[in-house]
Chains A and B, each alone.
Chain A
């Protein structure tokens, strides 16, 4: 038994919005792999829950009319990894979420829950930042879309207005973002399974048609600051430069100007900085290979 005050089950998105307006104090629950754990440990004990588990319209991956990749917020990590659209256009997202927890957690956990938590270590978050994902939010005033960077307000807080009954309904990757772009993710953790990232690094690259110049490189980190973040100094350094190991080396060092990791029981600031540089380089080298470039 869970120490739960009440459970409100939403039938669909509109129902969820209505319940949220009716019970603003209640916590939204999707896959349950975070909320139920926190309820067990006492952090969310005695709270009311609004379950959106049965809003099946929020599941699945598709390509919409504007050629955005649309990932329903309730899509499980396993379904993202196995989805043919994800594998074709943004394989790195499938690989990143395949490192969350263990197999059963990946069957239950959802990408919406992973981002609405607002935690910096979420395995999907750095990749979604690096691919400039758009978050679709539905509330009583209809649908609004914001860049994922603006969605994260501070550690543990995201831009969902409870007073407007808002819930996150989808994550979109625009065509301009995924077109001719390949990426790689490195999760650094103490164990291969059932562990939280000490540092997560996601890089993607688009090369010039001849494969000799970096047209656009984007890099984002998890656990390098209170929220997932891009390393813009490193990006602006490498964009337009030739595809060489020297430039990649310099790119790696530049990330230190952007990130702000902290000391925690998991790892020291110095160690996180060290693996940030190394992961940035390795991720970019791998991205270049995937993009058909030569080094």
Chain B
């Protein structure tokens, strides 16, 4: 076997600057789960199809299973844990998933919520079709898509001050 190869990675995870020696063969999922115990980052298909390992890297969504840990050098990474308040308070989008019963087994949810976080941070109004396309990189094996969609849409409308519009919120 070839000699093991390590690299030092300095990055920001959920707002905190960290330094970590990683095996160059590690994916970002491996690093976040094993070295930082951020277990909201799920290992699903590990080939970029299911979206369960989705995290924000410099504000854009990436499947962390298809991202080498060493590429995180200098990047700002946000996982689901980074959305909660200092005392573990839920963010509006997390609360919306609970209110809409969008969670069944829960495995796909952290990935979905991180995509929702990216979309909602743009503060743009999206039509239903646009929202569906933006959420299309995730698979939910419980097939709870309708409630997931409602949770994202309601949070979008709430943030835009349009939640009371009976035409939009149907």
Taking Cβ atoms with an 8 Å cutoff, the residues of A that contact B are 1-7, 9, 32-33, 36-37, 40-41, 51, 53-54, 78, 101-105, 107-108, 192-194
Contact = CB atoms under 8 A, between A and B. Distances in A.
Contact of B5 (A3, A6, A32, A108): A6
A192 B30 contact: no
Nearest to A36: B66
> Max chain A CB contacts within 10 Å: which of B48, B115, B136?
B48
B26 interface: yes
Given A40-B46, A104-B54, A105-B63, A2 B136 contact: no
Contacts of A7: 5, 24-25, 68, 70
Ordered nearest first, which 3 A-B pairs have the shortest CB separation?
A102-B137, A193-B136, A7-B24
Contacts of A102: 51, 136-138
A105 B48 contact: yes
B60 A5 contact: no
Contacts of B54: 104
Contacts of A6: 2, 5, 24
B27 interface: yes
B2 A53 contact: no
Nearest to B63: A104
A108 B66 contact: yes
A103 B118 CA distance: 11
Nearest to A99: B133
Given A104-B54, A192-B133, A192-B136, A32 B66 contact: yes
Given A1-B27, A36-B47, A192-B133, 20 more contacts: A1-B25, A1-B26, A2-B68, A3-B25, A9-B70, A32-B66, A37-B47, A37-B48, A37-B66, A53-B68, A54-B73, A102-B51, A103-B115, A103-B137, A104-B48, A104-B62, A105-B137, A107-B61, A108-B67, A194-B49
Contact of A108 (B23, B49, B63, B115): B63
28 contacts: A2-B25, A5-B2, A7-B25, A9-B70, A32-B66, A32-B68, A36-B27, A36-B47, A36-B48, A36-B65, A36-B68, A37-B66, A53-B71, A54-B71, A101-B48, A102-B137, A102-B138, A103-B134, A103-B135, A103-B137, A104-B51, A104-B137, A107-B60, A108-B66, A192-B133, A194-B49, A194-B136, A194-B137
A104 B61 CA distance: 5
Interface in B67-114: 67-68, 70-71, 73
A32 B136 contact: no
A53 B138 CA distance: 25
B30 to A, nearest CB: 6
A169 B27 CA distance: 25
A108 B68 CA distance: 12
Contacts of B2: 5-6
A78 B137 CA distance: 13
Nearest to B115: A103
B46 A103 contact: no
B78 to A, nearest CB: 14
A102 B137 CA distance: 4
A283 to B, nearest CB: 21
A32 B27 CA distance: 11
A240 B48 CA distance: 46
Nearest to A29: B68
Contacts of B137: 101-105, 193-194
A40 B136 CA distance: 23
Contacts of A107: 60-62
A102 B2 CA distance: 36
Interface in B113-160: 115, 133-138
Contact of B60 (A1, A40, A78): A78
